[in-house]
Amino acid sequence: MAAYKSLSVTEFKPDLRSANGTRIQKGLTSKFLRVGTLSCTDVLFLTFAWKLAVFYGTPLDSPWTQKVSFLLLILAVEIGVIATKGLYKSGINRRNYLGLIKAVTLSDLLLLMIAFLYEPESYISRSTFLLFWLLSVVFVCTGRLICDLATKLLRSRGAIRHTVFLITDPEDKDSHIRLIEKENCYTIHRIADSSSLHLMNRETTFEYLRTQGIEEAFVSWNAIKNRLYVCWRFQTAGITLRILPTEGQVRHPKSVFWMIGEVPCMTIPAPIIAGSDFWVKRSFDLCCSTILLLLLSPVYVVIATLIKLDSSGPVFFQQNRVGLHSKSFKIWKFRTMVANAEKLQAKLEAKNEIKDGVLFKMKDDPRITRIGKFLRRYSLDELPQLFNVFLGEMSLVGPRPLPMRDVEKFKTKHFIRQEVLPGITGLWQVSGRSDIDNFEDGVKLDLSYIENWSVLLDLQILLKTVKVVFSKAGAY
């Protein structure tokens, strides 16, 4: 890239009402092509191995050798185990012949166990089984070798290569170019120095990468200052980030290693909860919210009655909050303020106790009703958010969803917290609740939670939430 146009922070302000969220990962076509070609080759050679084993093995009257459905079962188990072992991934994984032998052997043993449990008297002969195992190993490895040779031939002619962008300092430029070219599957589109990721140039760089359809970016370790934030930006742009090694590199605790030839390189996962982690967390939320809604239904009735007796207005309070991928949703609470509380807030902004003004917090808020003070002290006003959790708009644990008024004051780096489902409680809430008077400190806690997420951590935060609620620490 010849030059960069500087952008100030104020010139780049995302429009939350039309947020795009995470973009589709670039290079999916080549990924599907690779997986499809390898899996079809494996199916073809495994079918051929089975037919030869049945033909040359000792004949035995069995549904395994006569019905097509059993052949489909064999192929499903074989392909499933190979996929589970990660042997359809790119690079050295698809050339892992020892891994293929282990995967085929394991799948054949699973089939042997299935056959014995299904119909122990009508399985195939031992010679057929051994022939199938031997031919499967030979044929599958041969198929991978053919695919590998064909891929190398096509890449030598400029086909099926990945377009990449290199960001590195001048002193590391030549060594990094040689390292990338050694893999023989990349075409370097452009090269830029570390200033391309500086705050003033960052948005111009990402816009360029998007418009040029760059699939992967190779970045030297020293070129990234705010590593987790930059990794998140690459992921939300749909670009795979590869971090190139330098002398004295410090390993990030959640880094993932991959190889270029014999050189280990690193990728830092973006600080989001996605994929299998998301579905584990979502299943946990769904089960817990269902059980809690059933158990707490009498409490809901009592609280609703007390609110009606205390002041005029609806039982529930709904407010637009900004959730996952900056999309708006309505949060549910028991009403703890007078009916026109939101209109009165503008007159109270001068008394805001949050130093940077992003959030609005105020002790002895005059808008709070008598029963509202009690509900807030024990966080009972938050109970209706279990409906938001049940509907998938929120999680039990996560960064708190904020009103549009607060999110509109975000800096770009704050939007990382919008890449996960918001929660009823979180690490911020059990580490001081309302006593934390600086939004930056709260964001650091939210980010720490996202980076270190596990079901156990969620359970720990939920238990701490109960303790904090009953101690009434920082509640107002």
Looking at per-residue pLDDT, the higher value among 353 and 462 belongs to 462
* Angle ∠(183,187,188) on CA atoms, nearest 5: 105
| Chain centroid, CA 103 distance in Å | 27
Mean pLDDT of 357-365: 62
- Ranking 167-171, 290-294, 471-475 by mean pLDDT, the lowest is 471-475
Is 324's pLDDT higher than 90?
Answer: no
Span 326-345, average pLDDT: 81
Structure tokens at 339: 């009916």
pLDDT score of 345: 66
Rounded to whole angstroms, how far apart are CA atoms 186 and 139?
Answer: 29
Contact between 123 and 117 under an 8 Å Cβ cutoff? The reply is: no
Tell me what the mean pLDDT of segment 202-215 comes to. 83
Mean pLDDT of the chain: 79
> Angle at CA 196, nearest 5°, toward 253 and 257?
25
Q: How far apart, in whole angstroms, are the C-alpha atoms of residue 37 and residue 147? A: 8
Write out pLDDT tens, residues 375-396: 888 889 999 999 999 999 999 9
- DSSP per residue over 100-159, as a string? HHHHHHHHHHHHHHHHHHH-TTSPPPHHHHHHHHHHHHHHHHHHHHHHHHHHHHHHHTT-
Spatial separation of the C-alpha atoms in residues 237 and 233, rounded to whole Å: 6
Distance separating alpha carbons of residues 362 and 187, to the nearest angstrom: 56
| Six token digits for residue 61 | 């009257």
> Highest-confidence range of 74-83, 113-122, 204-213, by mean pLDDT?
74-83
Q: Quick one: pLDDT band at residue 284, thresholds 50, 70, 90?
A: very high
Fold of 161-267: Rossmann fold (3.40.50)
* Residue boundaries of the structural domains of the chain: 28-156, 161-267, 275-471
Local confidence band at 264 (pLDDT 50, 70, 90 cut-offs): low
Of all residues in the chain, the percent with pLDDT exceeding 70 is 78
Say if residue 35's pLDDT is above 50. yes
